[in-house]
Chain A
Amino acid sequence: MSASPWKRLKQSEAFNGYVMVSPTLIYAILMLAAPLGMIVAYSFFKDGYLEVIHEFTFENYIQAWTDPIFQAILFRSVLVSMLVTLVTVVLAFPIAYFISFVVPAQKKSLWLFLITIPFWTSYLIRVFQWKVILNYNGVINSILTGLGIVDQPLQMLNSVGAITVTLAHAYAPFAILPIFVSLEKIDRSFLEAGRDLGESPFMTFWRVTLPLAMPGVVGAVMIVFIPTIGDYVTPELIGGGKLPMVANMIQQNMLKIDNKPLGSAIAVSSMLVVAVIALVFLFLNRRFLRGPK
């Protein structure tokens, strides 16, 4: 009288869920998980001339980590990423707060629209425009010398600062949106309750708004920090190739030098460093991420 086991299975929610997710999952396994696995495997292989020798070795890691250039590049990459993340998030928070708390409800989408438009225009050209702005004979120097504020144009390009400003610009919406979303979720009566219980506006912000917005801030930090460390274009264009980051080094080894095992080891190493920093950061903020959802 009752249904067969096969029919039971077919009707079960888990089975249907797996069937539904399978096309995307298979794609992700083939195109992402397997290649990532390959990179890890390659990083333990030996590099022969024009080919890769499938022999297990730690040689690549030893070579990478004892290389002062790699150390310097990795250090610079982490430093730039942290700086970019700090600048981006610190600038983004007041904007997200402004849109969520000050802008009237019917104008919020317009503001979000305004914030996201620059993000939808060519990344390469946006990065290059910062070169135009920061150049020796660029926009800022033209204004400064034109107004007589400086005699000599300032040398701003090819610096960590220039790279930071450019990346902070590129990742702005990625930081604003998660913070905005978590600010929007805050029940406004919490703030009234804070005020009602005798807190000043600043203390209400400090004790109520900020902790409740932290999941968004943490999300913003993650979504800016992790991809930034792998940015290739900005060091190339704004750093003038003189301040390479890990992505440039990976590209060098993979294409120009054609040492794929070493390139893989560098890629895996930098991903591990990023992962460790991200996990430490998440761990430090764990108390904000608990609770419902």
Chain B
Amino acid sequence: MKSPGLRLFAFAYLIFLYAPIVLLPIFAFNSGTIIAFPLKGFTLHWFDQLFSNATLGQALRNSLIIAVSTAIFATTLGIFAARASTRYRFPGKPGIMGLIMLPLVLPEIIVAVSLLIVLLGIGVPLSIFTVILGHVLAATPYAIAVLNAAFSSLDKSLEEAAYDLGETKWSTFRLITLPLVLPGIVSSMLMAFTISLDEFIIAFFLAGEQVTLPTYIFSQLRFPKQIPMIMALGTCLVIASIVLLTIAEYARRRGIAKTGAKDTGGFL
């Protein structure tokens, strides 16, 4: 066995990564009202409380609407930008792409605050819609990163071949480009969806009276009484994201198998 030290470190690191997550179900099923050891006993009460919470239901609905819209719009904008950056050369490209990718490193609070000022300035009422505006901005760079990989692994001569064989530019896109980058599009949508579902700061500033899942969670974290329910919610979210990620990974591998391409790495 090679590098036992590194291997040991890697497993310790995994424990560090997973410790907070493993604790979630432990406290979610613990009948004690205080999040502390020793554990009291087994209960499903917190899940009961979770599923009968009307505000939470509203928050989930809002978040899903926002996340689905973000996934669609960010991926659409991502397709245009990824296509432009992988296929065309034009003056000013690094600057243009730099601006589009800027939210990747820009602290979200800056995005949130600046958007808030503009929206208030032109008198747009804060709502789910304004959250979508912000989330699309924040998720598009991630979508582009995923789609860039998909588009740049696409051989340009495939499109030329279809065009050469009599197809138009649009039918070439539909018949050749789209099917081949579809796994990338699916990944991009899943990523944008997940980012939006989890995003707190922008929603915190731009949602107005509306509540989203993260803003609801944040508001509840100050009430110790509510924490066990949040643990139950966290458990559900972890399971949901593992299921989603597994589907995404499966779709990606199937896409690779279908076109005989080389497996070039993980979901991210």
A83 in contact (CB, < 8 A): no
Interface size on B, residues (CB 8 A): 89
Using C-beta atoms within 8 Å of the partner chain, give the interface range for chain A: 35 or more
In the complex, which residues 249-270 of chain A have their Cβ closer than 8 Å to any Cβ of chain B? Answer: 250-251, 254-255, 260, 263-264, 267
Q: Is the CB of A32 within 8 A of B20?
A: no
Q: Is the CB of B267 within 8 A of A113?
A: yes
Q: Is the CB of A227 within 8 A of B221?
A: no
In the complex, which residues 28-64 of chain A have their Cβ closer than 8 Å to any Cβ of chain B? Answer: 28-29, 31-36, 38-39, 42
Q: Is the CB of A113 within 8 A of B249?
A: yes
B180 in contact (CB, < 8 A): no
Chain A contacts of B91 at CB under 8 A? 14
Which one of B43-51, B54-62, B133-141, B159-167 contacts A? B133-141
Partner of A121, one of B10, B88, B241: B241
B245 in contact (CB, < 8 A): yes
Provide the main secondary structure of the chain B interface.
helix
Chain B contacts of A223 at CB under 8 A? 104-105
Q: Is the CB of B6 within 8 A of A38?
A: no
Which one of A19-27, A67-75, A188-196, A207-215 contacts B? A19-27
With the chains together, A18 CA to B144 CA distance in Å? 16
Chain A contacts of B133 at CB under 8 A? 31
Cβ distance A241 to chain B, nearest Cβ, rounded Å: 10
A288 in contact (CB, < 8 A): no
With A25-B99, A116-B268 as contacts: A247 and B109 at CB distance below 8 Å: yes
Cβ distance B32 to chain A, nearest Cβ, rounded Å: 11
Closest chain B residue, CB of each to CB of A278: B105
Q: Is the CB of B265 within 8 A of A112?
A: yes
Q: Is the CB of B137 within 8 A of A31?
A: yes
With the chains together, A254 CA to B230 CA distance in Å? 29
B156 in contact (CB, < 8 A): no
Partner of B221, one of A94, A124, A173, A247: A124
With A31-B137, A230-B108, A232-B201 as contacts: A118 and B20 at CB distance below 8 Å: yes
Q: Beta-carbon contacts of A100-130 to B below 8 Å, as 1s and 0s?
A: 0010000011001111111011111110111
